[in-house]
């Protein structure tokens, strides 16, 4: 396996940082893009492990930092779902140029919602795996803030979340996007992985997402598992299922 550090631009001019995992040998079976969550980045243990495992199965795999995160340019406070969909569009174009043919997506948490929004716009996506993805990210503010704090967010133009500033552009974006409506437009096969003890995204959203998807789909509920899939045994089982699913539809 060969690692290649790359950078590319989104449509807003931000520089996005990524790492490509090239399969060993000359044959490549397809391409993969991994999308991290809101409080993560491309160097998370899970994404690094997945990238290595996918490359070993012959898939050219990209893990990258969304804009304003990790080694990509910009300020975290400017993060929005729509902005990350735009970032994923740039990553997808890059991979289509590098490896014409089938490209699949895996998104964790916010990255899963972003992947769903993007797949609704891009009919050539070969397959998709979501891990603990919010179907209703618009409920996020109400889970972390009081009504008064949300009002103050609108009034002053920002709020503080886990020590990080978030601009009101995120709050406004959450009112514009519609993940359930997007899910109903997705043509590719989708695997949904979700813990029934998820303390961030209620497991009911996984069941609802499964109901929204019109075509080939599978829902796997990970018993006793939290949002981060902290149990190493269950995590390994989930990773194996994701790898098998992706290999089936991309190779």
What's the confidence (pLDDT) of residue 159?
Answer: 96
Residue 1: per-residue pLDDT: 83
Burial class (CB in 10 A: 0-12, 13-18, 19+), 3: exposed
Give the per-residue pLDDT at 238. Answer: 96
Lowest mean pLDDT among 26-30, 33-37, 175-179, 213-217: 26-30
Give the whole-angstrom CA distance, residue 186 versus residue 116.
8
pLDDT digits (tens, 9 = 90+) for 64-119: 999 999 999 999 999 999 999 999 999 999 999 999 899 999 999 999 999 999 99
pLDDT band at 129 (very low <50, low <70, confident <90, very high): very high
CATH architecture of the domain with range 2-6+23-72+85-138+179-250: 3-Layer(aba) Sandwich (3.40)
Long-range CB contacts for residues 67-70, cutoff 8 Å, separation at least 24: 67/10, 67/12, 67/14, 67/16, 68/14, 69/36, 69/41, 70/17, 70/41, 70/42, 70/43
Q: What's residue 140's pLDDT?
A: 92
CA–CA separation, 106 and 86 (whole Å): 16
pLDDT at 110: 98
Contact 197, 123 (CB under 8 A): no
Q: What is the pLDDT of residue 27?
A: 79
Q: What's the pLDDT score for residue 160? A: 94
- C-alpha 138/C-alpha 15 separation (Å) is 27
Average of pLDDT values for 59-65?
98
Q: Angle CA(123)–CA(127)–CA(128) in degrees, nearest 5? A: 105
pLDDT at residue 26 tops 80: no
Tell how far CA 34 is from the center of its chain.
7
Determine the Cα–Cα distance for residues 60 and 81; give it in Å rounded to an integer.
25
* DSSP code, position 11: T
Mean pLDDT along residues 176-203: 98
pLDDT at 51: 97
| Per-residue pLDDT at 18 | 99
Cα separation values, 125 from 134, 173, 184, 195, Å: 20, 24, 15, 25
Query: pTM for this one?
Result: 0.97
Are 164 and 237 a contacting pair, CB within 8 Å? no
Determine the average pLDDT of the residues in 47-57: 96
CB 176 within 8 A of CB 205: no
> How many CB atoms lie under 10 A from the CB of residue 215?
9
Query: What is the structure's pLDDT at 67?
Result: 98
Identify the band that residue 40 occupies on the pLDDT scale cut at 50, 70 and 90. Answer: very high
pLDDT of residue 25: 82
CA distance 47 to 61: 10
Q: Is the pLDDT of residue 28 over 90?
A: no
Domain ranges of the chain: 2-6+23-72+85-138+179-250
Number of H helices, E strands in the chain: 9, 10
Mean pLDDT of the chain: 96
């Amino acid at each position: 396996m060969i690692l290649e550090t790359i950078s590319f631009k989104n449509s807003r001019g931000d520089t996005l940082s990524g790492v490509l995992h090239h399969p060993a040998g000359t044959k490549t079976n397809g391409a993969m893009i991994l999308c991290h969550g809101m409080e993560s980045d491309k160097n998370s243990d899970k994404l690094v492990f997945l990238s290595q495992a996918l490359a070993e199965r012959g898939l050219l795999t990209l893990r990258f930092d969304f804009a304003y995160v990790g080694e990509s340019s910009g300020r975290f406070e400017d993060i929005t779902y729509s902005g990350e969909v735009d970032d994923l569009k740039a990553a997808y174009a890059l991979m289509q140029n590098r490896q014409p043919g089938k490209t699949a997506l895996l998104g964790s948490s916010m990255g899963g919602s972003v992947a769903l929004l993007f797949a609704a716009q891009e009919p050539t996506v070969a397959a998709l795996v979501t891990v603990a993805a919010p179907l209703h990210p618009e409920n996020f503010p109400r889970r972390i803030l009081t009504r008064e704090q949300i009002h103050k967010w609108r009034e002053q133009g920002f709020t503080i979340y886990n020590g990080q500033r978030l601009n009101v552009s995120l709050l406004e974006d959450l009112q514009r996007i519609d993940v359930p409506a997007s899910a109903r437009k997705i043509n590719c096969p989708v695997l949904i992985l979700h813990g029934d003890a998820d303390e961030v995204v209620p497991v009911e959203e996984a069941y609802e997402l499964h109901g929204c998807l019109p075509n080939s789909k599978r829902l796997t509920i990970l018993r006793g598992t939290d949002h981060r899939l902290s149990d190493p045994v269950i995590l390994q089982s989930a990773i194996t299922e994701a790898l098998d699913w992706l290999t089936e539809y991309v190779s």
